[in-house]
Homo-oligomer: A and B are copies of this chain.
Amino acid sequence: MREFLRTKGFKMTPQRELIFKSFFAMGKHVSVDELYDKVRQQDSSIGYSTVWRNLKLICKVGLAEEVNLGDGVTRYDRATETPHGHFYCIDCRKLTEFGMDNIVGQLAIISRENDFVPSGFKIEIQGRCRACRDKRAGEKTTAESAEAQRA
């Protein structure tokens, strides 16, 4: 890792090492806050901006990429070789992945047809996961009508 970074012109530091290691040890879709908390458990002297900057760095060197769900927080998704889309549950906001190899081929074709040179594909399927559907079914006793109103 140290070597990899060096070739890209960056230095290795204790903080950076811990941040990188923690990030890759965590699951997917990590937010700055989550990683910050995690890292802090090991070294409470690390600053928020350092975590943030290193997350950006991880993206810059191509080891991860930002995922934006529109809920206000940027998440960082480890770069995988296999392209995947996301199921985004509108209730619990959890992300689940699915492969999209066959679809990518089509997107590439669509791009070509539109004189667009693609560098990445992002597919998000919004809806409700099983758990949230079950939960709603249970709650669906009273109220029900006056729910949509009042943000």
Q: What residues of chain A have their CB less than 8 Å away from a CB belonging to chain B?
A: 9, 56, 60, 66-70, 74, 85, 87, 89-90, 96, 98, 100, 102-103, 106-107, 110-111, 114-130, 133, 148-149, 151
Q: Which residues in B have their C-beta under 8 angstroms from that of A127? A: 111, 116-120
Contact A106 B102 (CB under 8 A): yes
Q: Apart from A70-B74, A122-B125, what 17 extra A-B contacts exist at CB < 8 Å? A: A68-B68, A68-B69, A87-B114, A87-B116, A89-B116, A96-B114, A98-B110, A111-B125, A116-B129, A116-B130, A117-B127, A118-B126, A119-B127, A119-B128, A120-B126, A122-B122, A122-B123
Least Cβ–Cβ distance between A62 and chain B, in angstroms? 10
| Sample (21) of A-B pairs whose CB atoms are under 8 Å apart | A67-B70, A68-B69, A68-B70, A85-B107, A85-B110, A90-B119, A96-B114, A96-B116, A98-B110, A98-B114, A100-B110, A102-B106, A103-B103, A107-B125, A111-B127, A115-B129, A117-B128, A118-B125, A120-B125, A122-B126, A123-B123
* Identical copies of this chain, number: 2
Chain B residue nearest to A149 in the complex (CB): B9
- Complex: A148 Cα to B7 Cα, angstroms: 13
- Complex: A39 Cα to B111 Cα, angstroms: 35
- Name the one of B56, B68, B116, B129 contacting A125, with C-beta atoms under 8 angstroms: B116
- Complex: A138 Cα to B124 Cα, angstroms: 35
- Complex: A119 Cα to B87 Cα, angstroms: 11
